[in-house]
C-alpha cells in the first residue's frame, strides 16, 4: 500500500498548488484525505492488536479546562433541567469543539498565504452565499477513524534520558527523538498507523496551579512545545500515517519556528486529521505495564454536517 502513494519528493502533485500538497490524489471532491489509507485490509490487520479486550479512553473531560481555555476558546457549559414535574431530566451542552480533546477537521486550517483549504476549497465555499457542507466533519463520521494506533511516549523516554523539557515554552521535538523513543520501546511503524505522541503536556498541566494556568492561557501568543516543523517530519508522516495526534493544544511547536505550519500541510495539503489534547496518561501507564505500545483504536467523530472539529470519542483496545 505504501508504494501506491506518490513519493514525498514529488509533492506538490500539481504545478502551482501550495507546497507539499497532494490535491486531487483521491479525486477533486475527496473529503477523507489520508483517511483513505484506512482500507478494509489495513483495518482488519489492525484488529489483530486486540488480545485482552482491555479498553482505555483517550478523551479528556469536556470541561477539563474549566474557565481557563487556551486560544481564548469558549469553555464547556452544561445545563441540566427537570422536565416539568416528572422524574425526568434533560440537559444541554454548549462548547467549542476544540476546548478539550479534539480532531481538527479539514475546515479548520488551510494554507494561509494561498487562502485555500484541502483540495482548493475557499473560505467563500464555507461562508459565502453559495456555501456548502464540503469538508465538514460529517465526512469522517461515516466510517470513523479506526485502525492500528501506536504511542510514542516521548515524555517517558525524555525523562529517562534526563533531557530538559517545558511543555509550556516554545520548543521543538525533533524527529530523531521520536524515532529514538520508538526504538527504545521496540515499536514498529506500519503504513496506515494512527500516531499518538505523549509530549508530557497533560502530566505538567495536572501539576499547575490555577494562577499558573491563568497566566499561561493569557499569554499572547501562547507557547507550547510540540513536533518540529521540518521537511523530515513531513516526509515521515506522509510515508507512514493515516492520522496524527498528541496530548498538547497544538500538536506542533507553537508558535512555529519556520515560515510554514504543519497544520497547513497536514490539514490543507493532505487532509490528514490532527488530534490535540488527547488524554494519553492512562494509555501510557498501560503500555509501560504491558511493554507494548501498539493497540487498536476506534474513534467516531460527531456526525455534524459542515462541522469544523469534533471530540474524538476514542478508545484504545488491547
* pLDDT at position 3: 64
The four Cα atoms 279, 281, 285, 291 give a dihedral, to 10 degrees, of 60
Q: How is 173-185 classified by DSSP, letter by letter?
A: E-HHHHHHHHHHH
Of 56, 23, 86, the closest CA to residue 265 belongs to 23
92-145 confidence digits (pLDDT tens): 999 999 999 999 999 999 999 999 999 999 999 999 999 999 999 999 999 999
Contact 13, 23 (CB under 8 A): yes
Question: What pLDDT digit, counting tens, does each position of 248-267 carry?
Answer: 999 999 999 899 999 999 99
CATH of the domain at 276: 3.50.30.50
In order along the chain (318 residues), what is the average pLDDT of each group of 10 residues?
A: 86 97 98 98 98 98 88 90 93 94 98 98 96 97 98 98 92 97 99 98 92 87 94 98 98 92 98 98 99 99 98 99
Report strand pairing: 294-299 vs 145-152. Answer: antiparallel
For residue 195, the model assigns a pLDDT of 99
Helix (H, G, I), strand (E, B) or coil at 246: strand
CA 315 – CA 277 distance, rounded (Å): 14
Total domains present in the chain: 1
Q: List the domain range (segments joined by +) for residue 34.
A: 2-317
Amino acid at each position: 500500500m505504501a508504494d501506491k502513494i506518490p513519493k514525498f519528493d514529488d509533492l506538490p502533485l500539481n504545478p502551482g498548488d501550495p507546497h507539499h500538497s497532494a490535491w486531487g490524489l483521491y479525486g477533486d471532491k475527496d473529503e477523507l484525505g489520508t483517511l483513505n489509507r484506512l482500507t478494509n485490509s489495513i483495518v482488519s490487520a489492525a484488529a489483530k492488536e486486540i488480545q485482552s479486550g482491555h479498553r482505555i479512553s483517550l478523551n479528556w473531560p469536556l470541561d477539563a479546562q474549566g474557565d481557563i481555555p487556551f486560544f481564548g476558546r469558549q469553555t464547556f457549559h452544561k445545563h441540566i433541567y427537570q422536565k416539568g414535574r416528572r422524574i425526568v431530566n434533560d440537559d444541554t451542552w454548549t462548547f467549542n469543539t476544540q476546548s478539550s480533546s479534539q480532531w481538527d477537521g479539514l475546515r479548520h486550517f488551510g494554507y494561509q498565504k494561498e487562502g485555500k483549504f484541502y483540495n482548493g476549497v475557499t473560505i467563500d465555499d464555507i461562508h459565502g452565499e453559495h456555501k456548502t457542507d464540503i469538508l465538514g466533519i460529517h465526512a469522517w463520521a461515516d466510517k470513523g477513524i479506526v485502525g492500528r494506533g501506536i504511542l510514542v511516549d516521548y515524555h517517558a523516554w525524555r525523562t529517562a534520558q534526563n533531557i530538559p523539557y517545558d511543555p509550556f515554552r516554545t520548543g521543538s521535538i525533533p524527529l530523531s527523538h521520536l524515532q529514538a523513543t520508538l526504538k527504545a520501546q521496540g515499536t514498529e511503524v506500519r503504513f496506515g498507523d494512527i500516531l499518538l505522541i505523549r509530549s508530557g503536556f497533560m502530566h505538567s498541566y495536572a501539576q499547575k496551579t490555577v494562577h499558573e494556568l491563568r497566566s499561561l492561557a493569557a499569554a499572547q501568543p501562547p507557547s507550547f512545545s510540540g513536533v518540529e516543523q521540518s521537511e523530515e517530519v513531513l516526509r515521515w508522516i506522509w510515508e507512514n500515517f493515516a492520522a496524527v495526534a498528541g496530548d498538547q493544544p497544538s500538536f506542533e511547536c507553537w508558535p512555529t519556528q519556520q515560515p510554514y505550519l504543519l497544520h497547513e500541510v497536514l490539514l490543507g495539503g493532505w487532509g490528514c486529521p490532527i488530534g490535540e489534547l488527547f488524554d494519553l496518561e492512562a494509555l501510557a501507564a498501560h503500555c509501560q505495564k504491558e511493554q507494548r505500545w501498539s493497540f487498536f483504536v476506534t474513534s467516531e467523530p460527531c456526525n455534524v454536517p459542515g462541522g469544523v472539529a469534533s471530540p474524538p470519542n476514542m478508545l484504545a483496545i488491547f
